[in-house]
Amino acid sequence: MTRTCSVCGEEKVLSEFYRARSRCRACRREHDRSDQRVSENRVRSYKKHAEKRRAEAREWGKIRRARLRASGKVRPRQSTPLTVEQRREWNRHFMTEYRKRPEVVARTKEWTAKNMWRFVAKSQNRRNRLGGVRVEAAAWLTILERFGYCCAYCGHPSSEVGTLAQEHVIPISRGGRHAVENIVPACKSCNSSKGAKLPEEWVVRLERTRDDRTPGGELT
């Protein structure tokens, strides 16, 4: 049996072809040698103009970083690593400015209008789980005084982290009760980070960040 090569057009026996290939072996070898010569030429060209290419890359990198800094999408390079507080402050500043962008405001309003039913359903489900039980203002004030108006997890005072939220030690979704003995004050960051996790599930994160935080009230 024979086959016609798609490159040279010659008709050759099947042994002159690689399996399921339209090129004969000779044309294939020539093609591979051509590719190798092109690759070698590229390597030689790169080595010849290496310094020029590196200089162009460095210059373009400076221009790109300047554009990103001007747009607020990246923080300037630091000679020393940022501390936890500096990183948090930069993130808060960035998100504040980001939320003010007209396109972000319009996109948020559009998404909220389309998904309002999600918020309504979530709020209703939470009310159903709580069973109509409320923690009175006087009881909540007592809890805040007990923890010195500090986050029970990171120890930061409300004057630094803003309003403290009622955080359920054992989440409602995990069978916890909406009662005084199951509620502690928590900042927005810790409350979001803990989420629906149990304290023992979250302890690894607490241990990792404890050195960078000020100890506050103890969780009992």
List, for residues 44-67, the tens digit of each pLDDT value: 888 888 888 889 999 998 898 888
Q: Provide mean pLDDT across the span 77-96.
A: 81
The band of 78, judged by pLDDT with boundaries at 50, 70 and 90, is: low
The CATH T-level fold of domain 135-212 is DNA Binding (I), subunit A (1.10.30)
Instruction: Tell me the mean pLDDT in the region 9-23.
Output: 83
Show the tokens assigned to 153.
């997890």
pLDDT on residue 76 = 57
pLDDT of 214 reads: 45
pTM: 0.40
CA 143 to CA 163: how far, in whole Å?
A: 14
Mean pLDDT computed over 27-31: 87
pLDDT at 124 over 90: no
pLDDT for the residue 105: 92
> HEC states along the chain?
CEEECCCCCCEEEHHHECCCCCCEHHHHHHHHHHHHHHHHHHHHHHHHCHHHHHHHHHHHHHHHHHHHHHHCCCCCCCCCCCCHHHHHHHHHHHHHHHHCCHHHHHHHHHHHHHCHHHHHHHHHHHHHHHCCCCCCHHHHHHHHHHCCCECCCCCCEHHHHCCCEEEECCCHHHCCCCCHHHEEEECHHHHHHHCCCCHHHHHHHHHHHHHHCCCCCCCC
